Amino acid sequence: MGYMAPECFSSGKVSKESDVYSFGIVALEIACGRQSIEPEYEESKTSLVAWVWDSYGNQRLLDVADQKVCMEFDYKQIECLLIVGLWCVHPDPSLRPSIRQAIQVLKFEAPLPELPSSRPRPTYDAPNTSEVRPSEPHVFHV
């Protein structure tokens, strides 16, 4: 569930943008050394995306880096991976990068994106339930 873009739940459709979202989740998991949803963490850290974005907004992004690597990493690389991960999981699919754009930034061939300091609220349309007749099952294909 933590890898599926939020708009997939309302539309039932996958897209290039939803694939980019999943890529972003994996990037954040690698950088942070944890899964996308961890119920055993305190509420503010349950959602990896919310936790990383909050740290980004508070200018404490490197605090979320995987402590198991004993801070033995290139700070520019981990910062880049975290910011690209956030860019890829932007709640607005139209503001996510293409995979090509994300890779260019990860290879330091393009500048880091400017992201909002607080996580934008997702907005997407709910499926029109009037189109579903009671006798028809409504199945979302993933």
Domain boundaries, the chain: 16-115
Average pLDDT over residues 91-96: 94
Tell me the CATH number for domain 16-115.
1.10.510.10
pLDDT at 105 over 60: yes
CB 31, CB 65: distance < 8 Å: yes
pTM for this one?
0.79
Amino acid at 66: D
Give the highest mean pLDDT range of 15-19, 63-67, 103-107, 120-124: 103-107
Q: What's the mean pLDDT when you consider all of the chain?
A: 83
pLDDT greater than 50 at residue 16: yes
The answer to which of 12-16, 43-47, 82-86 has the lowest mean pLDDT is: 43-47
Q: How far apart are the first and last CA of the chain?
A: 11
pLDDT score of 123 more than 80: no
Contact indicator for 61, 83 with CB cutoff of 8 Å: yes
Angle made by CA atoms 15, 49, 84, in degrees to the nearest 5 = 65
One-letter amino acid at 60 equals: R
